[in-house]
């Protein structure tokens, strides 16, 4: 530094950065105008004084460490630091020499606050986003998760942070999820569907976007955004189901008709044959049994396919249920099944009584058939609200394996030797035309509960149903 040169001091004063110089004993040798302004100290009060005595708070801060480092290494240093006594952020550059240290600094508080603000903007985008937003390290351990994530999986962030996503993913989807995660961790953004297990045990289908986190050109982790797609999946399934149903409807109309007539004559000739034989062969019964089976399939198909004119009327669903119970009691007794009913008082339901009867027959028959060794069959009719009732049929039968639950109601899906696989399809169709819905829950070897929800006042289309 130039010493005692009036011109030099003038030049330094014109510089808009604060500048001061210290000698090897850390005493001030120069202080320009801006430095005196920024530090709120007169130049004369500082000159010749020790910087660490004048600004004792700086000893604990980056200033002390960085100035010492610069002097020790004889190499310039640059840093940002907050100086609490003045509530100011400084951008500091210190240039060492044999004789001491020259420091250039400026006030960057405003800029820092701006940056902090935009950081807060991003933070609220992360925290307030309704979708699940989260980040991982490159190994797939959660680093941060937002409220949307907690809601999606039911875990609090404390239960999740620093553990891997693998424990949340449904086993069946683990390989594919791992593949996508690895690609994202290698820098390629991924979008895919997978399934996670909620803390309460149920599965949640989600759509995930994984984006690599790049800092200074290096991938340091992966961001995730996940959306619950349960509803979307459900409507896709309904669509597939109703498409299949209409195809079956058309096909069954023609096939059932074609089969019915030859079947009737076959049956007739079989009876004729029996009466003309002295000794009836043992396979005769098998043949008649098989013909009856074909008959029952065709009649169920026909019922499904034939457009039937029915009308919606206000009906007493408790009475309908009782009629069905009477109808099926003898069948239940044969399998040692005890039927227990439990009815709320409910308003009249706008429905087609024959069809509701058909639904109950189909569901209750299945329940009885699921308990060949007997058990209890609970039939409850519940009032859910002023607008909705629920008929719940719960058995203690064989149950339905989780992976086959989705198949129930698909045409011809049956696990029974003499089944048709058409009962539940018809049931779904009827409930749908009544504006209702069906919920099946089941546990293997424990039992199955089928819930049929019906709106009280559905304005159904009278013309063609089933």
Interacting residues with ligand ADP (CB under 6 A): 362, 366-367, 370, 395, 397-400, 408, 413-416, 419-425, 448
Pick one of Mg ion, ligand ADP, none as the site partner of residue 413 (Cβ within 5 to 8 A by kind): ligand ADP
With tokens 């009827």, the residue in question is: 430
Output the smallest distance, CB 427 to Mg ion, in A.
Answer: 9
Q: Which helix (H) or strand (E) holds 137?
A: strand 132-137
Neighbours of 245 (CB within 10 A): 19
50 Cβ contact list (under 8 Å, min separation 6): 25, 26, 27
Q: Which does 154 bind (CB under 5 to 8 A by kind): Mg ion, ligand ADP, none?
A: none
- 42 binding partner (options Mg ion, ligand ADP, none; Cβ < 5 to 8 Å by kind): none
- Phi, psi at 197, each rounded to 5°: -105, 120
Query: Which lies closer to ligand ADP via its Cβ, residue 207 or residue 449?
Result: 449
At its nearest, how many Å lie between ligand ADP and the CB of residue 395?
A: 5
- Cβ 259 to ligand ADP shortest distance, Å: 18
Min. distance of Cβ 241 from ligand ADP in angstroms? 13
Residue 237 token pair:
């399934």
Give the three-class secondary structure for 127: helix
Residue 335 CB, nearest distance to ligand ADP (Å)?
13
Q: Do 132 and 152 meet the contact criterion of CB atoms below 8 Å apart?
A: yes
Complex with ligand ADP: residue 46 or 368, whichever CB lies closer = 368
Q: In terms of CB distance, is 184 or 424 closer to Mg ion?
A: 424
3-state secondary structure of 393: strand
Cβ-based nearer residue to Mg ion, 71 or 248: 248
Which chain residues interact with Mg ion by CB under 5 A? 366, 423
Q: Are 220 and 213 in contact (CB under 8 A)?
A: yes
CA distances from 25 to 21, 41, 74, 99 (A): 11, 20, 15, 10
With CB under 5 to 8 Å by kind, the binding choice for 205 among Mg ion, ligand ADP, none is none
| Minimum CB distance to ligand ADP smaller for 146 or for 252 | 252
| Nearest-angstrom CA–CA distance, 345 and 322 | 14
- Minimum Å gap between C-beta 453 and ligand ADP is 17
Task: Output 349 or 356, the one with its CB closest to Mg ion.
Answer: 356
The answer to whether 222 and 178 have CB atoms below 8 angstroms apart is no
């Amino acid at each position: 530094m130039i010493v005692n040169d009036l011109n030099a001091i003038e030049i330094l004063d014109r510089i808009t950065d604060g500048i001061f110089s210290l000698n090897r004993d850390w005493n001030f040798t120069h202080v320009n105008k801006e430095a005196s302004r920024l530090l709120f100290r007169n130049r004369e009060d500082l000159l010749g004084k020790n910087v660490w005595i004048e600004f004792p708070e700086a000893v604990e801060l980056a200033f002390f460490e960085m100035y010492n480092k610069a002097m020790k290494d004889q190499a310039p240093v640059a840093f940002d630091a907050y100086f609490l006594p003045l509530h100011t952020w400084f951008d500091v550059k210190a240039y060492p020499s044999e004789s001491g240290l020259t420091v250039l600094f400026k006030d960057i508080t405003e800029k820092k606050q701006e940056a902090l603000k935009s950081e807060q903007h991003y933070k609220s985008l992360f925290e307030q986003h309704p979708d699940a937003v989260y980040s991982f390290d490159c190994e797939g351990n959660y680093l941060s998760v937002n409220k949307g994530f907690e809601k999606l999986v039911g875990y609090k962030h404390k239960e999740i942070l620093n553990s891997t996503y693998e424990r949340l993913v449904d086993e069946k989807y683990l390989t594919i999820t791992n593949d996508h995660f690895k690609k994202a961790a290698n820098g390629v953004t991924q979008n895919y569907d997978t399934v996670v297990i909620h803390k309460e045990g149920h599965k949640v289908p989600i759509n995930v976007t994984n984006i690599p986190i790049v800092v200074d050109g290096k991938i340091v982790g992966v961001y995730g955004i996940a959306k619950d797609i349960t509803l979307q999946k459900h409507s896709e399934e309904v669509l597939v189901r109703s498409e299949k149903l209409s195809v079956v409807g058309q096909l069954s109309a023609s096939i059932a008709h074609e089969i019915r007539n030859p079947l009737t004559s076959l049956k007739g000739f079989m009876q004729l044959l029996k009466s003309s034989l002295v000794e009836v062969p043992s396979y005769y019964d098998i043949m008649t049994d098989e013909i009856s089976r074909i008959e029952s399939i065709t009649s169920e198909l026909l019922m499904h396919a034939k457009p039937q004119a029915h009308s919606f009327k206000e009906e007493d669903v408790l009475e309908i249920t009782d009629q069905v119970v009477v109808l099926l009691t003898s069948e239940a007794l044969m399998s040692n099944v005890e039927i227990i009913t439990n009815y709320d008082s409910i308003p009249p339901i706008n429905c087609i009584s024959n069809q509701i009867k058909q639904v109950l027959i189909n569901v209750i028959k299945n329940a009885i058939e699921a308990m060949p060794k007997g058990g209890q069959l609970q039939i409850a009719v519940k009032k859910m609200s002023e607008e909705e009732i629920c008929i719940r049929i719960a058995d203690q039968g064989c149950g339905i394996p989780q992976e086959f639950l989705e198949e129930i109601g698909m045409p011809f899906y049956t696990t029974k030797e003499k089944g048709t696989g058409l009962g539940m399809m018809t049931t779904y169709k009827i409930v749908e035309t009544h504006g209702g819905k069906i919920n099946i829950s089941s546990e293997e070897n424990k039992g199955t509960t089928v819930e049929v929800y019906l709106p009280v006042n559905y304005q159904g289309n009278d013309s063609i149903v089933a």
